[in-house]
Amino acid sequence: MLHHPPAAGAIGWRKALADAPALRAVLRRAGAELVLHGHARDARMDVVAGPSLPIPCLCVPSSSAVPNPKDQGALWHRLRLMDGAGGPRAMVEVRRWSTEAEAFVPDGAYALSLPRVRSRDSGENVGR
């Protein structure tokens, strides 16, 4: 979990993570199941290279942003991590701020497949 997005082009260079190429190199070498971050104006899903499979990078905007013509406004995502026969995955429930309801309301859900990270010591899959 980090503040700035690690994926190239996710936000403008002026607000981007200064050492993003170095972080992407670490992720490419060591792997991760999921990267969570903020700092972009809208929710987005990017990927960065992992040791064997792409690593999903999930971004959510500020949870206090008011919807406006430039920004989708506040969102939050509830993730339920699961490990099954098909491998690790996250069930993601999205909720958005509704100015009409003055509350967060459901805004969809989806399943996200996650790469399995192997333990360095044992060579075994690290799962939940």
Looking at residue 43, what is its pLDDT? 86
The CA distance from 124 to 27, in Å, is 18
Distance between start and end Cα atoms, the chain: 18
The model carries a pTM of 0.82
Q: Are 74 and 104 in contact (CB under 8 A)?
A: yes
Of 92, 18, 79, 9, give the one whose Cα is nearest residue 47: 9
Instruction: Give per-residue pLDDT as tens, 57-111.
Output: 999 888 788 888 887 888 889 999 999 888 899 999 999 999 899 999 999 999 9
Q: Are 109 and 79 in contact (CB under 8 A)?
A: no
